[in-house]
Structure 1
Amino acid sequence: MENPSQIDPRERAIVLALKAERERQGISAAQLAREIKISRNTIPNLERNEARPTLWVLLKICDGLKINLKELM
């Protein structure tokens, strides 16, 4: 696990925007993880600042939320 102070603030902002959208849509982290076929711990770890997102995971989350990653940037 990486030290949270080493996580790029831009990455953090994207993760927080995805979390806000997930919550706005009323989808739990576990439900979203199940739908996009990633580990159930991935989304909570990202949201708790305990992991860094990969581009692949960000794209999968965006697909699951039916939003465009470009819109978040």
Structure 2
Amino acid sequence: MENPSQIDPRERAIVLALKAERERQGISAAQLAKEINISRNTIPNLERNEARPTLWVVLKICDGLKINLKELI
């Protein structure tokens, strides 16, 4: 597990925006992970600040939520 103080605040802001959108849409982390074909632990780990997001995962989550990454930034 990475030390949360080492996670870039910009990365954290993107993850929190994705979480807020996921919750706004009423989709569980497990449901979204299954839909976009990633590990069921990935989204909760990101949201708990236990992992750093890769661009690939962020784009997959955006696709699953049907939003554009530009909307988050």
Q: TM-score, normalised by structure 1?
A: 0.99
Measured on the aligned residues, the alpha-carbon RMSD in Å equals 0.4
1 CA distance for matches of 2:49 and 2:13? 11
Can you list the C-alpha shifts for 1:11-57, whole angstroms capped at 9, x where unaligned?
00000000000000000000000000000000000000000000000
Give the CA deviation at 1:67. Answer: 0.2
**Aligned structure 1 segments of 4 or more residues deviating by more than 2 angstroms:** none
Give the CA deviation at 1:70. Answer: 1.2
Unaligned ranges ≥5, structure 1? none
1 CA distance for matches of 2:23 and 2:5? 25
2 CA distance for matches of 1:70 and 1:53? 16
| Matching residue of 2:40 | 40
2 CA distance for matches of 1:30 and 1:45? 12
Percent of matched pairs sharing the same residue: 95
| Matching residue of 2:9 | 9
2 CA distance for matches of 1:71 and 1:10? 14
Give the CA deviation at 1:71. Answer: 1.2
Unaligned ranges ≥5, structure 2? none
